[in-house]
Amino acid sequence: MKPSLFDRVLIAAAIALAILWMLPLVWVFVLSLKSNAVLMERTDAVFSTPFTLRNYADILANPAVFRWVLNSCVVAGVQTLLVLLLSSLAGYGFARCEFRGKRVVFALVLAGLAVPEPAVVIPLHRFFADLGLHNSYAGLILPRLAAPFGVFLMTQFFKAIPRELEEAALMDNASRWTIFWRVILPLTLPAQATLGIFSFLAAWNDYLWPLISATRPEMYTLTLGLASTQTNFAQSEGLGFLMAQAVFAALPVLVLYAFFQRHIVAAVSGSRP
Amino acid sequence: MKRTLLAIAAALFTGAATAAPVEITLARFFGSCDAEFGQVTDPARVSSECGIVTVLTNKFNAQQAGRIRVNTQVVEHSAYYPQLGARIVGGDLPTIAIMHSSVLGDFAKRDLLQPLDGALDATDFTPHARHGVSFGGHVLALPYDSHAMLWHINLGLMKQAGLVDAAGHARLPTSPQALLDQARAFKRATGKPYFVWLTLNDPSFFARSVLGLVNQQNASLFPKTDQAIDLGTPEVRAAVSFMRTVYAEGLSTRNMDYSAALQAFMAGAGGVMPNGTWLLGQLNDRAAQPGNPLSRAYEALPEPTLYARPATWADSHVWVMLRNAKQTPAEREAAHQFLRFLNDESLAWARTGQLPARQSAVDSAAFKALPMRASLGPVAQVGTGLPPTVARQSRVMGLLGETVAAIVVSGEPLEATLAKGQQRINRLLERESRFLAR
């Protein structure tokens, strides 16, 4: 069937918007392929040859960068898994279990959404300093496990699952844990995927907390480590290197997206992969 | 007996050989370039800030191998002070840290810095450098440089406008009116604006310019007390009005941030770019290459004196030692040794374009032999900033710059905007004062 004129206009508009959305990314990528010296004189030099991979080579020439990638993978991976686990357990508890003060506790959790990070960062820093946890993976991961948004999302999702499924399992003598793990949790995969994406991206791009918790270069995450290599006037004298850093830092996330594209699209659209 | 003595000697030798070096940490910005200069120990082979500070650290570590080890902790410039603040609160202190002298007062008032009186010889510091690190009769930091505003000049365009002397140097104005006359003549002759100004996203440009112009009139932004700025003085109004006239008459470029202004100047878009000493190296390199508007047509001069006396904004990079109850005497002595080493290498750091903090280095033939430096020595004498005891200087300068930019660029009314700016700054200083009084 031939698409109607209206459909064609819609597709053309979607393509135009997609190109518009892509332009800054393309701009960043092309800038990353130009030398710093050229860009300091003329930014419009991106429209002409020569191009170079020197900026990427400069990033990789720093041996510490591989340690920073590893640190980011550990922190973002472990943090995502633990946020999923804790948010699911808490969400299930709020959605299905009855206990005294549930409403108050849930309200307190939601109140966490309204607290800006800078308001708690100094007390949190002192607390972790007293525990001696700075410059460690635990110090980087633990403060981010309190995820009010995750608890809220999972609570709402669990509430939407019919109670009859649990009641049927209860009649088959299944324990509360078995019901959670075997029956209910698999039904929440779209929500888990959504929360997982948000958590991973937040952990990967996190800057403020790693900045003040990891002060030894060997414990830097990738964002922190790459930023530390920038000179004071990087926006003018090191623009190509700066853009290459942006592309380099985004690469693992893009690779991850390529692998899990099917699941991510399904999660966002609310369908099964 | 012989065997016993040999055993003791062997034990002592082994002990000495395996004793771990004293490790100290150095927190700084300037970026990290270990990949490029990690093995280099000769500062003459590099000229960038990052390169020289890295190489100097390598050199010290090589000289002190087995005795002292300096471990560098590099943090991005814009995030440096928030991190340092958090580290102080958390008790995770670096042995030595870099700072700007303009923020030193905030740390001094909280009694966070170790005096360095006995560790360093301050008699050789330049007046600007000594002024910036002296608090309550104590030297609280090692000044590492003075960085100031300069006039970066396109001599080709100045020549085209007939504004060079017989020796081929730019003829600088000596009063606001002379400057306006020059700028108008320049525009008529070249069709281009006289100034390349940083008018977007860079309030510090306006703040630094006004500070210099006010001090040139023998006046101060803090005439009565360091607790209250006064933007209602005739000197402030004169300085801001002058900048407003330049901008309104199209004698400066418009809508340019730091990077755009630098590109524009290198492309020959204007005659004079007021900017920092830190650009000397880059612009010299550019001028040394053929086929561009600055080829053999670039010079840098101190900002001209338009009023009663020479004065130009300047700041310093300084090295400090934070008070640390956990620090051992060995660590303290190792840190002092490193600071003395950096002080001795003042001239090496000057190759970045910054001015040395030691008068003997400024006066040395080696410094004057560096490109453009011979004419820049006086900047170390006339560099000026806010009074050292003024709190939150970085924020104060930011608010001042925003205020001036609103008048010059956005055309806001002069009197009312200055009054509003004064109110904002003094409210900030009041809050700070209340906080310190608690």
Q: How far is B352 from chain A (nearest CA, A)?
A: 13
Contact A40 B262 (CB under 8 A): yes
Residues of A in contact with B92 (CB under 8 A): 129, 134-135, 215
Q: Which residues of A touch B (CB under 8 A)?
A: 40-43, 58, 61-64, 121-122, 125-126, 128-129, 134-135, 207, 211-212, 215-217, 227-237, 239
Residue B4 has pLDDT above 70, yes or no: no
- At A55, is the secondary structure helix, strand, or coil? helix
Tell me how far apart the alpha carbons of residues B172 and B174 are, in angstroms, rounded to a whole number.
7
Beta-bridge mates of residue B300 = B152
Contact B91 A42 (CB under 8 A): no
Residues of B in contact with A215 (CB under 8 A): 27, 73, 83, 87, 92, 94
- Exposure of A4 in the CB half-sphere (CA atoms within 13 A): 2
In a domain, A220, yes or no: yes
Residues of B in contact with A63 (CB under 8 A): 35
Greater model confidence, B39 or B141: B141
Greater model confidence, B47 or B268: B268
**Which of B76, B87, B91 faces A230 most closely, judged by CB atoms?**
B76
Contact B263 A41 (CB under 8 A): yes
In a domain, A224, yes or no: yes
Tell me how far apart the alpha carbons of residues B400 and B393 are, in angstroms, rounded to a whole number.
10
**Which of B36, B74, B266 faces A228 most closely, judged by CB atoms?**
B74
pLDDT band at B5 (very low <50, low <70, confident <90, very high): low
In a domain, A17, yes or no: no
| Chain A interface includes B100 (CB < 8 A) | no
The list of chain A residues with pLDDT below 70 reads 1, 267-273
Domains, chain B, ordered by start: 17-146+316-384 (3.40.190.10), 148-314+391-436 (3.40.190.10)
Tell me, what CATH number does A72's domain have? 1.10.3720.10
Model pLDDT, residue A259: 81
Contact A129 B48 (CB under 8 A): no
Closest CA to B147 of B30, B69, B240, B266: B30
Q: Is the dihedral angle over the CA atoms B210, B212, B218, B221 positive or is it negative?
A: positive
Nearest CA in chain A to B258: A236
pLDDT band at B15 (very low <50, low <70, confident <90, very high): very low
**Which of B32, B94, B282 faces A237 most closely, judged by CB atoms?**
B282
Contact B90 A129 (CB under 8 A): yes
Tell me how far apart the alpha carbons of residues A72 and A252 are, in angstroms, rounded to a whole number.
10
Model pLDDT, residue A62: 87
Contact B90 A58 (CB under 8 A): no
In a domain, A263, yes or no: no
From the centroid of its chain, how far is CA B412? 30
**Which of B30, B262, B266 faces A232 most closely, judged by CB atoms?**
B30
B152 contacts B294 by C-beta, under 8 angstroms: no
Model pLDDT, residue A52: 93
| Chain A interface includes B400 (CB < 8 A) | no
Contact A229 B32 (CB under 8 A): yes
Tell me how far apart the alpha carbons of residues A34 and B359 are, in angstroms, rounded to a whole number.
41
Write the DSSP assignment of B164-226 as a string of letters: B-TTS-B---SSHHHHHHHHHHHHHHHSS-SB----SS-HHHHHHHHHHHHHHTT--SSSSBT
| Residues of B (229-288) whose Cβ lies below 8 Å from A | 258-259, 262-263, 266-267, 278, 282, 286
**Which of A215, A232, A235 faces B92 most closely, judged by CB atoms?**
A215
From the centroid of its chain, how far is CA B93? 24
Q: At what angle do helices B258-266 and B280-288 cross, to 10 degrees?
A: 30
In a domain, A211, yes or no: yes
Maximum distance among all Cα pairs of chain A, rounded to whole angstroms: 75
| Chain A interface includes B292 (CB < 8 A) | yes
Q: How far is A180 from chain B (nearest CA, A)?
A: 41
One-letter amino acid for residue B267 of the chain: A
Digit-coded pLDDT (tens) for B180-210: 999 999 999 999 999 999 999 889 999 999 9
Digit-coded pLDDT (tens) for B317-332: 999 999 999 999 999 9
pLDDT band at B336 (very low <50, low <70, confident <90, very high): very high
The tokens 């040139």 sit on which residue? B216
Number of domains comprising chain A: 1
Beta-bridge mates of residue B143 = B318
Contact B83 A211 (CB under 8 A): yes
| Neighbour tally for B184: CB within 10 Å | 14
**Which of A126, A233, A237 faces B89 most closely, judged by CB atoms?**
A126
Model pLDDT, residue B389: 86
Closest CA to B110 of B85, B139, B80: B85
- At B312, is the secondary structure helix, strand, or coil? strand
Residues of A in contact with B49 (CB under 8 A): 231-232
Q: How far is B94 from chain A (nearest CA, A)?
A: 9
In a domain, A71, yes or no: yes
Domain membership of residue A216 as a residue range: 63-229
Contact A215 B89 (CB under 8 A): no
pLDDT band at B132 (very low <50, low <70, confident <90, very high): confident
Residues of B in contact with A229 (CB under 8 A): 31-33, 74
pLDDT above 90 as % of chain B: 71
Which residues fall within 8 angstroms of residue A78, CB to CB, at 6 or more apart? A137, A141
Exposed e or buried b for every residue in A184-197, given b needs 16+ CB within 10 A?
bbeebebbbbbbbb
Ramachandran angles phi, psi of B200, nearest 5°: -115, 135
Give me the torsion for CA of B334, B336, B337, B343, rounded to 10°: 150
**Which of A41, A125, A235 faces B258 most closely, judged by CB atoms?**
A235
Digit-coded pLDDT (tens) for B271-330: 999 999 989 888 988 899 999 999 999 999 999 999 999 999 999 999 999 999 999 999
Determine which of A10-14, B54-58, B365-369 has the lowest per-residue pLDDT on average. B365-369
pLDDT above 70 as % of chain B: 96
Using CB atoms within 10 A of its CB, is residue B374 exposed (0-12), middle (13-18) or buried (19+)?
Answer: exposed
Average pLDDT over residues B331-360: 92
In a domain, A259, yes or no: no
Tell me how far apart the alpha carbons of residues B127 and B116 are, in angstroms, rounded to a whole number.
18
Ordered strands of the B68-74 beta sheet: B68-74, B22-28, B96-100, B317-320, B142-143
Model pLDDT, residue B84: 93
The tokens 């290498």 sit on which residue? B345
- At B118, is the secondary structure helix, strand, or coil? coil
Which residues fall within 8 angstroms of residue B167, CB to CB, at 6 or more apart? none
| Chain A interface includes B75 (CB < 8 A) | yes
Q: How far is B314 from chain A (nearest CA, A)?
A: 17
**B383-384 and B312-315: which strand pairing?**
parallel
Q: How far is A233 from chain B (nearest CA, A)?
A: 9
Exposed e or buried b for every residue in B247-279, given b needs 16+ CB within 10 A?
beeebbbeebebbbbbbbbbebbbbbbbbbbbb
Beta-bridge mates of residue B317 = B100
| Residues of B (22-41) whose Cβ lies below 8 Å from A | 27, 29-36
Tell me how far apart the alpha carbons of residues A166 and A187 are, in angstroms, rounded to a whole number.
12
Residue B16 has pLDDT above 50, yes or no: no
Contact A211 B75 (CB under 8 A): yes
Tell me how far apart the alpha carbons of residues B190 and A189 are, in angstroms, rounded to a whole number.
68
Nearest CA in chain B to A227: B76
Q: How far is A58 from chain B (nearest CA, A)?
A: 8
Model pLDDT, residue A173: 87
Nearest CA in chain B to A121: B86
pLDDT band at B435 (very low <50, low <70, confident <90, very high): confident
